[in-house]
A and B are shown apart, each in its own frame.
Chain A
Amino acid sequence: MSERPAIRVEGLWQVFGANATAALAAAKAQGGSRGDIAGRLLDQGLIPAVRDATFDVAPGELFVIMGLSGSGKSTLIRGISRLVEPTAGHVDIEGEDVLAASRKRMTELRRTRMGMVFQHFGLFPHMTVLDNVAFPLKVGGMGRKARHEKVMPIIEMVGLKGREAAFPRELSGGQRQRVGIARSLAGDCSVWFLDEPFSALDPLIRRQLQDEFLEIRQRLNTTIVFITHDITEALKLADRIAIMRDGVIVQIGTPTEIVLNPVDSYVREFSKDVAKGRHARVGSVMRSDAGDVGPDDPGLRSDMTLEAALASCMSLYEPVPVRDGDGKVVGMVHPGDLAKALQVEET
């Protein structure tokens, strides 16, 4: 990770209310933890919706932000994309300080670098599918013919070929979000924000769109910030997950880390109902000193899911070796540990 991060967020605060900037500076000057600062702001009737958020997103990474309703997820990406003006902190996108960008530069950045998908689609009701998708190019000054040529492949990619002339009201929910996705991609963005894009859809369509989304992601090389409140969706899609509560990012980690090592009861609560065996890998519970292994070798690999590993050493009671992709032994695991890791905490 020595590479320059695609998005770098540092000490981002988003406080709503009158004179938020001054109030935040004063509260910070009094010192204390971010909880103390937030407390002071709350006492003044202000709403600290995002409190001191800091994280990096690597180029090409799919970074998921998860949290309950009202925890500040939307506000966080709206701050990063400057749909609202952050109260304090730094945001770099591909090395450029976004918060210092002029209005004009910001428009430019949105045309060329950023794309956003909204929970309720945000489609323009008076434009056809084609015009909706081509809108970012239109405001960018591209000619009618050129932009229509450019967006046709995108419309095809999201599976809306043949519906170009339809108006949003004539489409189903799933189709509407496909338009939203296509529109956010029209500008060839390199960072892509999706705010609960599938939450308004019914479960079947949601799963279908998730799969299509992963496919699209394979083809494009964008950095993605994806918001959801659905842990299954997060685990399915994410490279890394950030969990938010009351405006604070309480944990950042890979899906496995989140499931296996929740930092507190809030995070644990999320992963409670998750079938851990399907998300955690052997690598996360093995010991790397391949000493005392027993006689049996069921052929465990470090990237196997716990469920699969446990199935192949059901009847064993001795530690077994774990190999990497090339067959080299990289560690060992006790079948008992596998079983223990799988147990859902009874709280």
Chain B
Amino acid sequence: MSALLKLSPGLRAALITVLTGALCLALEPVAPWLVKWPADWTLPATEWVGAALEWLLGGIKPLARWFSGLLGYPMAWANAALTQTPWPLIIGITTAIGWYLGGLAMAALGFVGLSFVLTSGYWQESMNTLSLVAVSVPLALIIGGAIGILANEAPRIKPAVQGVLDVMQTVPTFAYLTPLLLLFGFGPVVGLIASAIYAAPPMARNVLLGLERVESEIKEAAVMSGGTRAQQLFLVEIPSASLQIMVGVNQCLMAALSMVIIAAVIGGNNDIGWEVLLQMRKANFGPALLAGLVIVVFAIVIDRMSGALATERKRYDPRVAYGILALAILAALLAARFLPGPPSWSLFDGAAQWVDDGLGAFNTEHGAKLTDFKNNTMFFAFLPLRIGLDDAVLPFTWGFQWTNAMSLWFFGVAGALAGVLWATGRPVAGLMLLIAAGVIETGVANLPWPFLFVALGALGWVSAGRNLAVMVVVLLSTILLSGLWEPAMLSLYLSGISVFACAIVGGLLGVLCAISPLAWRFIRPVCDMLQTIPLFVFLIPVLMFFQIGEFSAFLAICLYAIVPMIRYTRHGLANTPGDLVEAAVASGATPMQILRDVRAPYAAPTILLGLNQTILYAFAMLVIAALIGTTGLGQSVFLAIGQADVGLGISAGAAMAILALIADRLVQGLAEERRRALGL
């Protein structure tokens, strides 16, 4: 025991974890509950949550219905305004705003973008989507702004507000939908409200951040000028924070757009998200891709234009903007006389058809290879990770049956390797190897729960001390007790392999970009693009090649979640202080040595933060990926939406949020620990 205490904390944690794992495996025959939590030991938490919520929501339902009726008006107005306004005018207004905000380039972006939408034949659907955004965004801005200001004015509630905003960011978008459905009934209003709820936190966050960051001298100058509190706030502090607030507006817009499109799954509004879903279900990938591109175009136009608001760049000559408007009015008049209305335009149908045909041809030719690739990855990599070697290795896939003797051999070899590593002075690496071997043998979905408790708790202890360890264990037990352990483990498995793949591929790409500015020149716009696209759209290309299933979900998650890993890795490596690098060069280190021994350790905290973002992104995408067939919590959330089961929806959503929260705190703790170790 005293020998155990002398070990370093990391080593101690790893050792305890290994011992727990071994113990669980050994005791499985006598105490199966150690591995699999018995179903009748769980509490009917989802039902309780459901009952409580239904009672609660039932109480405010009349109010909610009234409110949704009220919201129907602005929605109808916005819709009427956008769909009745002649299309040349809308294109003209966008182009004029683009000019004013960002000059020729931005004007061209607006013009070309909307012209594409017009000629794609999805004008009507797009305007329906936009009209939802047009109502939900002001709502989100007002709510978010008010929350931000309130938190700033009442310092006592600030930590609470920040905590709630943190949690809201980790709760998956779909989890909002079930209670909203119950409250507001099926229909576009739900999408609108969900998007307002989803888009308000970034606004609140940025308003609060902006207000906090106003220089104290500026605030004091306002006081000493004799301003009342309201005058100080509205005449000085808010305008001084305007750039940060505009960042909030930008994020709010993007979140609202993304959510409005996702909310299309509940249907009821002939909008562009619905169109994508419809075409995907019919396996018409050409049109689905086209509609997806329309969404991407909107996302890019909105993002770049509102992003320009958040810069201090000077504005462009408004007279040109007026000129553009005048032209647009003229065009509208002419169009009204001579041109057909927008819905009959579909210049790209040919292209869509061509894509479809091409895809069909490609799939008939190479489909077998793709399927092979998919199956091989599934059978030889994913499945063992999911259910363990002992269940995954079957004669008809691997060619033989996994036996207990093989398990013993497997552990024996791993143990020997671990022993070698320990003997050569890397005990933690050795134990990690053992843990990895155990996980592969057992499978993530079948991991004994005490093992996970101890492993994650120990990790928490090492990275941030006892509080985090306790928090991790308490949160995990809520999942265990509520009976959501199994889907949670499936979610953990899927996000785990995605994050792992992202970490490796994204990390390597990040290194490449750090070494070669040329590579970064190419990869950077791709990253920008991937971050602008609403999550939904990622599903289209993967479905085109890999059909519905776990593998497609994995790819979609990776596509979205890889970006932060690339960015942060490159940023960390490329921004090592110059004097450190110079010192290394002066010591005669080669570029490779500098990368490994100087840049990498220095960048470690930044890279860990990137990993953290990647994990959060992966969880965000997990639910959406459930649309194309995954198991786990995402699926539970979907089921809940379909059955309007609030208890399940909220509980599954909360379980996902808990997993994301735990991962977030653990990685942040590790990053913090690294930073302290480096004295940063």
Stretch at the interface among A87-95, A111-119, A152-160: A111-119
Residues of A within 8 A of B215 (CB): 120, 122
| Interface residue A125 (Cβ < 8 Å from any Cβ of B) | yes
Q: Tell me if A139 and B221 are in contact (CB < 8 A).
A: no
* B226 partner, pick from A78, A83, A127, A139, beta carbons under 8 A: A139
CB contacts (< 8 Å) of A140 on chain B: these are: 226
B residues in contact with A111, CB < 8 Å: 225-226
Chain B 234-252, CB within 8 Å of chain A: the 1/0 string?
0110011010000000000
Chain A nearest CB from B237 CB (Å) reads 10
Q: List 5 A-B contacts (CB under 8 A).
A: A107-B227, A108-B226, A124-B218, A124-B222, A193-B224
Interface string of A287-300 (1 = CB under 8 A from B): 00000000000000
- CA gap between A311 and B231 in the complex, in Å: 60
Contact present for B239 and A122 (CB under 8 Å): no
Residues of A with C-beta under 8 A to B226: 107-112, 136, 139-140, 187
CB distance from B540 to the nearest CB of A (A): 43
Q: 1/0 per position for B344-383, CB-CB distance to A under 8 A?
A: 0000000000000000000000000000000000000000
**Pair A114/B235 contact, Cβ less than 8 Å:** no
Interface residues of A in 33-74 (CB under 8 A from B): none
Q: How far, in angstroms, from A136 to B232 measured CA to CA in the complex?
A: 11
Are A126 and B225 closer than 8 Å at their CB atoms?
A: no
Interface residues, chain B, with chain A CB atoms under 8 Å away = 215, 217-218, 220-228, 231, 235-236, 239-240, 242
What distance in Å separates the Cβ of A75 from its nearest Cβ neighbour in chain B?
13
Which residues from B are CB-within-8-Å of A116? 220-221, 224
Least Cβ–Cβ distance between B274 and chain A, in angstroms: 42
Collect the chain B residues with CB atoms within 8 Å of residue A127's CB: 239
Main secondary structure of the interface of B (DSSP, over half): helix
Across the two chains, which residue of chain B brings its CB closest to A107?
B226
Q: A122 to B217: give the CA distance in the assembly, Å.
A: 5
B221 nearest in chain A by CB position: A122
| A-B Cβ contacts below 8 A, count | 70
Contact status B224-A139, CB under 8 Å: no
Q: In the assembled complex, which residues on chain B have CB atoms less than 8 Å from the CB atom of A115?
A: 224
A136 to B221, CA, bound (A): 9
Q: Complex: how many Å from CA A263 to CA B175?
A: 72
Residues of B contacting A147 with CB < 8 Å?
Answer: none
Residues of B within 8 A of A139 (CB): 225-228, 231, 235
A335 to B215, CA, bound (A): 55
Pick the 6 closest A-B CB pairs, nearest first.
A111-B226, A122-B217, A122-B221, A110-B226, A136-B225, A116-B224
Given contacts A122-B215, A126-B240, A139-B231, contact A187 B225 (CB under 8 A): yes
Asked whether A124 lies within 8 Å of B224 as measured between CB atoms, the reply is: no
Q: Give Cα A330 to B679, complex, Å.
A: 67
Chain B residue, CB-CB nearest to A126: B239
Determine whether A123 belongs to the interface, using a CB cutoff of 8 Å to chain B: yes
Query: Contacts A139-B227, A140-B226 known; A122 to B240 CB distance under 8 Å?
Result: no
Given contacts A125-B240, A126-B239, A139-B231, whether A118 and B225 have CB atoms under 8 Å apart is: no
User: With a CB–CB cut-off of 8 A, which chain B residues contact A136?
Assistant: 225-226
Taking CB atoms, residues of chain A closer than 8 Å to B220 are 78, 83, 116, 118, 122
Residue on A nearest B226 in the bound complex, by CB: A111
Residue among B221, B235, B239 making CB contact with A123, cutoff 8 Å: B221
B546 CB to nearest A CB, Å: 52
Contact B218 A123 (CB under 8 A): yes
A183 within 8 A of B: yes
